């Protein structure tokens, strides 16, 4: 993917869509209600992100205590960080995408898709049979002093 068109969309098209949505909503419900809605979605999103982020943090700690790599959980944390940035951006368009990321089954499906695009990357915990995905090598080792 070429980065220039993506940056163009990110910095030009998205703010224009946000402004259009804000004007449309403001013309229907009024300026005061529009501001209240924008602030309310940011506060509600921040609360949901805090709750889900803490839950994800606990799963990361649990994986580390089990001496497993918490790759999927870290990807969820990154997704929640992106959702937080979208939720704190004033507007309804970005809030909609932020709220979509906050839906756990949808977020996990997006992460599984991203991992599948990376090839033989980390497997999420609910991606099917884990025992067939892991290969154990057995052997012996000993420490040799120099």
Q: Tens-of-pLDDT digits for all 146 residues of the chain?
A: 677 888 887 888 888 999 999 999 999 999 999 999 999 999 999 999 999 999 999 999 999 999 999 999 999 999 999 999 999 888 899 999 999 999 999 999 999 998 888 875 555 555 444 444 556 667 777 778 76
Do residues 122 and 128 lie in contact, with contact meaning Cβ atoms separated by under 8 Å?
A: no
pLDDT of residue 146: 67
CB neighbours of residue 84 within 10 Å: 21
pLDDT of residue 130: 46
Cα–Cα distances in Å, from 133 out to 23, 72, 99, 111, 122?
Answer: 51, 15, 32, 18, 10
CA-to-CA distance for 29 and 4, rounded, in angstroms?
A: 37
pLDDT of residue 80: 94
- Give residue limits of the domains in the chain: 17-117
CA-to-CA distance for 73 and 60, rounded, in angstroms?
A: 6
């Amino acid at each position: 993917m070429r980065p220039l068109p993506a940056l163009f969309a990110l910095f030009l098209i998205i703010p224009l869509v946000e402004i259009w949505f804000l004007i449309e909503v403001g013309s229907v419900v009024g300026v005061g209600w529009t501001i209240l809605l924008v602030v309310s979605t940011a506060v509600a999103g921040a609360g949901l992100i805090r709750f889900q982020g803490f839950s994800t943090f606990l799963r990361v700690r649990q994986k580390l205590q089990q001496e497993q790599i918490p790759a999927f959980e870290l990807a969820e944390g990154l997704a929640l960080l992106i959702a937080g940035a979208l939720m704190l951006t004033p507007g309804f368009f970005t809030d909609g995408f932020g709220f979509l990321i906050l839906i756990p089954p949808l977020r996990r499906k997006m992460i599984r898709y991203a991992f599948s695009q990376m090839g033989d990357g980390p497997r999420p915990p609910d991606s099917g049979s884990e025992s067939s995905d892991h290969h154990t090598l057995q052997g012996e080792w000993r420490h040799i002093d120099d």
